[in-house]
Structure 1
């Protein structure tokens, strides 16, 4: 049911760091939404900095600002 897509500038994440991140997000979603962790899907999507404005900032942050619950402050 819940799907989380984390977009970020590419950084090297080893398997341990990635596992910890996914576990923390899973736990937060499970607790907030009261769902079983088996129904949660999580995608980690690196986006090059040069493409960020066109692929993420404009379509997902600016155009969908009404959905944001935390707004970037930069």
Structure 2
């Protein structure tokens, strides 16, 4: 605990995915005061044509109570 799920379009290299995983893990550790042994990260890849139905509608539009950073520009 915690487990972070990152959903992204297909096409990123293994190097990019490893870097993202490392940075997400470091951010969780620094922000929530967990050790590396407590953090897990999963990457779920989607084709661009699937994004709206499989991610945007269920997780962003219908997940507003859980959404802490909305798409677009604005404060982090």
Q: TM-score scaled by structure 2? A: 0.84
Corresponding residue for residue 69 of structure 1: 68
Gaps of 5+ in 1: none
**Per-residue displacement from partner, 1:5-54 (whole Å, max 9, x unpaired)?**
1111111313x322221111100001111111111110111111111111
Partners of 2:19 and 2:28 in 1: CA distance: 14
- What does 1:16-31 align with in structure 2 at a 5 Å threshold? 16-31=15-30
Gaps of 5+ in 2: none
Structure with more of its chain in helix, by fraction: 1
Matched residues, number: 73
Across the aligned residues of Structure 1 and Structure 2, the Cα RMSD in angstroms comes to 1.5
